[in-house]
Structure formats: C-alpha cells, structure tokens
Structure 1
Amino acid sequence: MKAFFEGIQDLFVNGLFWPYDFLRFTKNWWAANTVNWLFMIICFVAFVYWMVQLKKYNDNNEEDKSCSAHSYL
C-alpha cells in the first residue's frame, strides 16, 4: 500500500502540479495567481447566471408560498 500512495504522490507532485511550480517561480504576483483569478471569474459568472435564473423563476409566481405548501411545515 505504501507504493500505491507514493505513486499517487508522484502523480500529483511531479505530474499534475508542475504548471503551478512554474508559475510560483515567475516572481510576478499576477502571473502566479492567474489560475486563482480564472477560477474566481468562472465562479462569479456561474453565480450571476444562477441568480438570474432564480429571479426569472421567482417572477413567474408559479411557486406555492403558503404555510402548508410543504408537507414538513
């Protein structure tokens, strides 16, 4: 089992994370954090899309908002 977990370590450290090692040594804050900024932009766009869809659904007034609308209430 030790070899299995060392193989997983080798895959991630030497294989999948090498672009992060390259960006870490660029000495430029903006270049080193490009991946973080991309993730933040993608999450922000997804959040805005989700809120627009919820507003569109709420504006249709199709949901029953009475006290007895759900069985657990």
Structure 2
Amino acid sequence: MSWKGFFEGIQSFFEEVAFAPFEALRSMELSSWWGANVMSWLFLLIGFVAFIYWMRELKAINERGEEDRSQTSHSYLG
C-alpha cells in the first residue's frame, strides 16, 4: 500500500460515509428552508443548553464561596 492509496482511502471514507448525512441535507435545501438549516438549529440548541448549564455552575460556585476573590489570588496580579 502506498501513501497515495492511504490518502485516497481517507478521501473515499469521508466522501461516501462520514459526509453522507450532509449530502442528504444538501439535497433537501431547495425544498425546505427549515430542513436546510436543521444542523444550524441543532448547534444553536446545543450551545444554548451548554451556556445555561455553565451559568448555573458558576452561580453555584459563587454561592458556595469556593473562589478566591482577593486581588492577590494570582501571583502576577499582586
């Protein structure tokens, strides 16, 4: 097996297997705006849920007082 064959195998995998769902979405693009943007909505939803989770964790840490808020908490600040 040569390096060329190795890289052609990677190309074949991604073109025919890994990106198959995106090809299906691209074929749906002209028929429905919602269908064409389903991945964008999915990523937006994941980001929103992660943001809410992170804000709740920060609030819980703040309420427990675990964070050192003094000005010299880091050596480069003092």
Aligned to 2:42: 38
Using the TM superposition, name which of 13-22 and 57-66 deviates more.
57-66
Q: Which runs of 5+ in 2 are unaligned?
A: none
Q: Give the aligned CA root-mean-square deviation in angstroms.
A: 1.4
TM-score (norm 1): 0.83
How far does the alpha carbon of each residue in 1:36-56 deviate from its partner, in whole angstroms, 9 at most, with x for none?
A: 211210111011100111011
Q: Which runs of 5+ in 1 are unaligned?
A: none
- CA 1:61 to 1:15, structure 2 compared with 1: closer, same or farther past 3 Å? same
Runs of 4+ in structure 1 off by over 4 angstroms are none
- Identity percentage over the alignment? 52
Whether 1:3 and 2:10 are equivalent positions in the alignment is: no
Aligned length: 73
